[in-house]
Structure 1
Amino acid sequence: MAALADVKTRRRSDYNFALEYRTRWMDNDMYDHMNNSIYYLLFDSVVNTYLINHCSLHPPTSTSVGLVVHSNCDYMSPTGFPATVDLCLRVNKLGKSSVTYEIGVFERGVEEVKAVGGFVHVFVERESMKPGPKGMTDALREGLGKILVEKSKL
């Protein structure tokens, strides 16, 4: 994981994939900003959108599934309804059967990052719920490799 001082300086250009999200009234909590649980829902959405559209993953029929084994989020400043945010995605580490994602949340019209979070997926065989001998599929590895950042940019 990157140091908090580093993630505070993230910019959209630090990421290789983005998904637009328009906040909803129900995303706000009683403090009039987006509830922390919504951030995790959005992290899951941007990652799975990428996996389905760019890694040939078809969750209902795939023989492997990604299990979340770790998640985190650092909040820099609030956002809420009404707003449009860009959920920016990159891969910080790609292992044999695991992948570490980082997601930056940017509000339209604001350069500074609102939140940076992520999670670790371990891909396992659906039947055994254990990593397969090959780890993840070639299509998955190839697609994730397209958004893998260089170690010097971590």
Structure 2
Amino acid sequence: MGSESLKSRTRDDYKFHLEYRTRWSDNDMYSHMNNSVYYYLFDSVVNAYLIQHCALHPPTSPQIGLVVHSHCDYFAPVEFPAVVGLALRVNKLGKSSVTYEIGVFERGQSPVRAVGEFVHVFVDRETRKPAALGMADTLKDGLSKIAVDKSKL
């Protein structure tokens, strides 16, 4: 997907939203949020959704999600003391994998600041291999609710 298409993302393009108040320590020496913090936020919004809407309990669930790919396109900086809106959707839902897209918006401003992609493969906690039947129904059902196009699932 081209960066121009990603730059045109709005909050309405996403189905789950979570706010994060930036901290002074999130800034880097250039006075904007450090790249590593974006990945921390991606992990946080994805896991918040999985815990709240997919019955995932990370310490004990029989299946766990392993990150196999992530990237981020940055369009404009965010700096302390901003409050950012993290917006989540599922772009692709497979048998054992899910591709998330996360939009980062600054409260009170329309343009998207960054768009990230995050891919989980759900595996058995013990064997670290995908289950024969794929991800658990509770995961798949919850993730399908924030999928972009359910007809392609």
Q: Give the TM-score category using the shorter length.
A: over 0.9
Q: 1:36-94: CA deviations, max 9, x gaps? A: 00000000000000000000000111111100000000000000100111000000000
Q: Structure 2 matches for 1:5-154, cutoff 5 A?
A: 5-150=4-149
In the alignment, the residues of structure 2 paired with residue 51 and residue 141 of structure 1 have an alpha-carbon distance, to the nearest angstrom, of 10
Please state whether the residue corresponding to 2:19 is helix, strand or coil: strand
Contact 2:14 2:89 in 1 (8 A): yes
In the alignment, the residues of structure 2 paired with residue 92 and residue 41 of structure 1 have an alpha-carbon distance, to the nearest angstrom, of 20
Contact 2:93 2:147 in 1 (8 A): yes
Unaligned regions of 5+ residues in structure 1, if any?
A: none
For normalisation by structure 2, the TM-score amounts to 0.97
Unaligned regions of 5+ residues in structure 2, if any?
A: none
In the alignment, the residues of structure 1 paired with residue 114 and residue 4 of structure 2 have an alpha-carbon distance, to the nearest angstrom, of 12
Please state whether the residue corresponding to 2:112 is helix, strand or coil: coil
For normalisation by structure 1, the TM-score amounts to 0.96
Equivalenced residue count is 151
Deviation at 1:3, TM superposition (A): 1.7
Please state whether the residue corresponding to 1:59 is helix, strand or coil: coil
In the alignment, the residues of structure 2 paired with residue 48 and residue 3 of structure 1 have an alpha-carbon distance, to the nearest angstrom, of 27
Paired residue type of 1:82: P
Contact 2:3 2:73 in 1 (8 A): yes
Q: 1:88-112: CA deviations, max 9, x gaps? A: 0000000000000000000011100
Question: What CA RMSD, in Å, does the superposition of the two structures yield over aligned residues?
Answer: 1.1
Moved over 6 A (4+): none
